Amino acid sequence: MDWFVDLLYTNKDGVAHTMLMFCIAIAVGIPLGRIKIFGISLGITLVLFVGIILGQLGFTVNDHVLHFVKEFGLILFVYTIGLQVGPGFFASLKKGGMLMNGLAAAIVLLGVLTTVAFHYLTKIPMPTLVGVLSGAITNTPGLGSAQQAFSEIVTNNPEARARLIEEVGGVPEGMTPDGVIDSLAGTLGQGYACAYPLGVVGIILSLILIRAIFKIAPEKETEAVKAQENTDGSTAITLEVQNPAIIGKSIAQVARLFGRRFVISRHRRGENPPTVATGKTVLEAGDLLFVIVMKHDAEMLTAFFGKVVDWGLEDWEHLKSAIVRRRIIVTRENMNGRPLSRLSAYQAMGVTFTRINRAGVVQVATPSLCLQIGDRVNVVGPESAVNEVEKLLGNQLKRLDHPNLVSIFLGIAVGVFFGSIPFALPGLSQPLKLGLAGGPLIIAILVSCWGYRSHLITYTPIAANLMIREIGILLFLAAVGIGAGKGFLQAVLNGGYWWVLIGFCITTIPILIIGSIARGIFKMNYHSLTGLISGAVTDPPALAYANSLAQNEAPNVAYATVYPLTMFLRVLTAQLLILAFCS
């Protein structure tokens, strides 16, 4: 049995011991996280608590290995999040996004102010309270950013190190200054672990309380969302040309006169079979047009052309015609970044591009829109010409099965570089850095939006994205738990139970204040509000609760709208608190 003792206890720096500890924490924590109590589960966060138990029992891991795994897992997690939400991020800001992001930023700011207030009221060291803050709003990358900033301060700033030791009461008998600093660093993870469970509960309780205060009926909110959806997005209508001002003009001339985005996919004159409209098609009175337009522009476009005809897509397709429509997926690398205007030769053959679906965001296919790998393009035209477009764009799903690892690791490298650039701010003795969480997150969003301009293929299959993300966050949580486990029980008994109460206040106070403002003053739909709050505290369990109330996508849309900015602010403010109060 010597080999068993050596594996578990003696050779704690060994690769086998390290792998065993991480695998146990993850393999045991995942199924435990699926257990629901009063309909609420903590999910993969239980990996953190299993890691804490292992650390409390004395199963440690080499500090350098622990630090590397923690940071590497965090980078994988935030980068893949950025890749997922990036394509729709800027589009989401165009309608209601500015208000939502402003309210989400206010929740972040109030949480920070509440944390600072508790620091002065209780004299609890700021590193501990930043851990409590991160747990209270269930934000793991913020914890990682704070830990990195704290590590750099105590390593590179002897004066700050001395002040921190003095703040916690000096060096107790039997301890060394390094031991005091290590203990203080450990309270970051311990505070996070203490505040997290009640943080999840507090978020959902706040949503329930807002619903009760304003006497909200979810069914009526659902009806309001459906009514709003009827005015958003794109729609297809059939118009009859009656306006004398456009008769005799080409479609290209009419498009310049109208000044709004629309695409005409089919044209019919008299009893003739439908044809594909081009910019050179001259309009005559009585012509029928099948038009793709944004819903909020539909009424204006109808008045501009003439009148609406009660024809849908099925009516056009029942007519004898050589026109077909097909959804084609862009899979050829040489199409990445190519604008639709470059495909004018196919438009001359009678092909029209109507819509493009990119990462769930549907856009009208204007000539200036650039294609990206993974785009789903709606194409209308003669079958032979559509077949040629299909060959050009690729439409081979197997090519999308493999993640583009070159762009992923290149993006991470740029993100790490960007996150390491110091920014000097007045009043801070140490420069601010976006860190290993903020840098990769911002670069991932930018790369997913505009990487095609550098011919980067940024498309990552959903399954691959989720796999990389889950591996990253699981490694991070296991590393934080194992590192924070040593002395965790003692910390809780020596006053850590106050961290739970403080964390609950940090969770609920900002949500109730900003949630009441959003509902009472801005009259925000409750389903959108629940998604906004879930995104502002980056909490998937809260989003799951919001989705259980809604029969629509409003919570998911609001969550995705505020998530990128909120994640960045959480990472930034956690680091700022450490720099401002510890350096």
Q: Rounded to whole angstroms, how far apart are CA atoms 451 and 263?
A: 27
Of 498, 526, 570, nearest to 81 by C-alpha is 570
Of 480, 428, 438, nearest to 157 by C-alpha is 428
pLDDT tens figures, 185-238: 888 877 887 787 777 778 888 988 998 899 888 888 878 777 665 555 667 888
The whole-number average pLDDT for the span 412-416 is: 89
pLDDT tens figures, 108-118: 999 999 999 99
Tokens of 438: 């903020």
pLDDT of residue 347: 61
* Residue 131 contacts residue 188 (beta carbons within 8 Å): yes
* Residue 40 contacts residue 201 (beta carbons within 8 Å): yes
The whole-number average pLDDT for the span 412-425 is: 84
Between residues 548 and 370, the one the model is more confident about: 370
pLDDT band at 495 (very low <50, low <70, confident <90, very high): low
Q: What is the pTM of this model?
A: 0.68
Residue 462, pLDDT > 80, answer no
The whole-number average pLDDT for the span 352-358 is: 79
The whole-number average pLDDT for the span 558-568 is: 79
The whole-number average pLDDT for the span 295-314 is: 82
Among 126-130, 367-371, 445-449, 508-512, top mean pLDDT goes to 508-512
Backbone angles phi, psi at 84, to 5 degrees: -75, -45
- Percentage of residues of the chain with pLDDT beyond 90: 10
- Percentage of residues of the chain with pLDDT beyond 70: 86
Residue 571, pLDDT > 60, answer yes
pLDDT tens figures, 65-106: 887 888 888 788 778 877 776 766 666 666 567 899 999 999
pLDDT of residue 65: 83
Residue 454, pLDDT > 80, answer no
Residue 30, pLDDT > 60, answer yes
Between residues 166 and 560, the one the model is more confident about: 166
Between residues 58 and 205, the one the model is more confident about: 205
Of 552, 496, 569, nearest to 124 by C-alpha is 496
The whole-number average pLDDT for the span 466-494 is: 78
Which segments within 131-242 are labelled E, that is strand?
Answer: 234-241
In the chain the first and final C-alpha atoms are separated, in Å, by 49
Coil, strand, or helix at residue 165?
Answer: helix
pLDDT of residue 383: 77
CA-to-CA separations, 564 to 45, 152, 360, 432, 569, in angstroms, rounded:
21, 26, 16, 20, 9
pLDDT tens figures, 526-562: 988 988 998 898 776 677 677 767 776 677 678 777 8
Q: Rounded to whole angstroms, how far apart are CA atoms 206 and 21?
A: 37
* Residue 485 contacts residue 52 (beta carbons within 8 Å): yes
Count CB-CB contacts under 10 A for residue 521.
8
pLDDT of residue 529: 92
* Residue 267 contacts residue 274 (beta carbons within 8 Å): yes
Average pLDDT value over all residues in the chain: 80
pLDDT tens figures, 315-331: 676 655 667 778 888 88
pLDDT of residue 506: 95
The whole-number average pLDDT for the span 323-340 is: 81
Q: Rounded to whole angstroms, how far apart are CA atoms 490 and 482?
A: 15
Consecutive H or E run containing 265: strand 262-268
pLDDT of residue 7: 62
Residue 310, pLDDT > 70, answer yes
Q: Rounded to whole angstroms, how far apart are CA atoms 175 and 451?
A: 52
* Residue 325 contacts residue 380 (beta carbons within 8 Å): yes
The whole-number average pLDDT for the span 494-504 is: 82
Classify burial at 106, counting beta carbons within 10 Å of its beta carbon; exposed 0-12, middle 13-18, buried 19 or more.
middle
